[in-house]
Amino acid sequence: MIRLRGWDAMLGMNRRNARISQENPAEAIRLVNNKYATKQALTAAGAPTSPTLALLRSRREIAALDWDGLPDCWALKPNQGLGGSGIMLSFGHGRGGWRSSSGRPVTRQMVDDQLRRILDGEYSPLPSDWALFEPLIRAHPDLARLSHQGLPDIRVICVGDEPRLAMLRLPTRFSGGRANLHQRAIGAAVDLGTGRITHALVGKEATGTHPDTGERLIGAAVPYWPRVLDAASRCAPATGLRYLGADIVVDADRGPLILEVNARPGLQIQNVTGHGLMTTGTRTRRR
């Protein structure tokens, strides 16, 4: 028998969409689709983000770019990219320029081509886009230990400035370094009160350890947890969204940084945490 009490708490796609269209103003959605503007708004609200090293809006600006001013490690992103596409990373100085995470050379020519593709809007819903250089984010050792390559991040669902549910997304060998649950990255429920992992899912199966590294997940703590929650709770006032998913990473040196604010966060977090988003959140919230 299906327990009606449990189903009552589940937020479905229909209600989520209605909620988004009612609670998230169009200008706020437009803002969070623009990474550069979002970062400025977050910084103004005192929320931590990764700084912009260079903003390129035209081919003339590419030509005028001060390449020597870039650090050895950087991330190149489209300003309005969808689903993490179009990102290029440099992990340090290498032959002919820089090197990728696997050590392969990244030449100036390759970066030039990528910049032009980004500006031509190849990774964006619009016909043209801007490109951003940011300092490379390196995962905090406590989180890097739990993950197979890639960058683990924390998804926090907030209603207004109040965090409701949180999960840690850990890339696996199968997910190819991406923290995408559809591609079988691990989704680990994080207790809002303690910042510790209570249980974890790979696909639909529960797991206690990371399938690639064998590292024990249950009980592991997210470093700087109060600061992570504080960063998440600043997203709503900064962006104007009232229902949002904040994607937060914990950098080895700089601590928690907001990577992205999502106006249409997915619903899989309900399965990961075992909590519905329809509940008022009194039970899960112990701050």
- 18 part of the interface to another protein, by CB under 8 A: yes
Give the x/- contact pattern for another protein in 199-218, rule: CB under 8 A: --x--x--------------
SS3 percent helix, strand, coil of the chain, rounded to 5, is: 30, 30, 45
Tally Cβ neighbours within 10 Å of residue 117.
16
Burial of residue 210, with CB atoms counted within 10 A of its CB: 0-12 exposed, 13-18 middle, 19 or more buried: buried
Instruction: Please list every residue from 81 through 120 that binds another protein, using CB under 8 A.
Output: 83, 117, 120
Query: Can you list the alpha helix ranges (DSSP code H) found in the chain?
Result: 4-8, 13-23, 26-32, 35-44, 59-63, 108-119, 141-144, 225-233, 235-239, 269-273
Pick 53 or 62: Cβ nearer another protein: 62
- 9 part of the interface to another protein, by CB under 8 A: yes
Pick 252 or 278: Cβ nearer another protein: 278
Pick 23 or 112: Cβ nearer another protein: 23
Dihedral in degrees, nearest 10, Cα atoms 260, 85, 102, 61: -90
Burial of residue 227, with CB atoms counted within 10 A of its CB: 0-12 exposed, 13-18 middle, 19 or more buried: middle
- Least CB distance to another protein at residue 202 (A): 13
- Least CB distance to another protein at residue 266 (A): 11
Interface with another protein by CB under 8 A: which range of 40-48, 57-65, 131-139, 273-281? 273-281
Helices (H) and strands (E) in the chain, counts: 10, 14
- Least CB distance to another protein at residue 9 (A): 5
- Least CB distance to another protein at residue 275 (A): 6
Q: Give contact residues for another protein (rule: CB under 8 A).
A: 2-10, 12-15, 18-19, 22-23, 83, 117, 120-122, 182-183, 201, 204, 267, 270-271, 273-276, 278-279, 283
